[in-house]
């Protein structure tokens, strides 16, 4: 998106929700999902990202469900 404007970017994007940037993408049990952290080891599912339609039928991975995970740092 290209915006041609004489206004500063701060004025154009002042109404953006900063909470939207708190989401993070994780992989859990081979599934990629967008989650919003609720604590150190827990998060609430915002969006499931999968090409398999059967993954969306699993109520454990429905948006709004709370999941528990252990962060893993790999290089």
**pLDDT one-digit tens code per residue, 16-49:** 666 656 888 988 888 999 999 988 889 999 999 9
Strand partners, 42: 68
> By C-alpha distance, which of 44, 3, 54 is closest to 23?
44
d(CA 68, CA 40) in angstroms, rounded, equals 9
d(CA 24, CA 45) in angstroms, rounded, equals 10
Instruction: Determine contact, residues 55/31, Cβ cutoff 8 Å.
Output: yes
The pLDDT of residue 59: 93
């Amino acid at each position: 998106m290209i915006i041609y404007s004489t206004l500063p970017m701060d004025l154009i994007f002042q109404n953006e929700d900063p909470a939207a940037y708190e989401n993070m993408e994780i992989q859990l049990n081979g599934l990629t999902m967008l989650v919003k952290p609720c604590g150190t080891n827990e998060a609430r599912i915002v969006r499931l990202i999968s090409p398999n339609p059967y993954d969306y039928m699993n109520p454990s991975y429905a948006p709004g469900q709370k999941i528990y995970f252990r962060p893993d740092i790999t290089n």
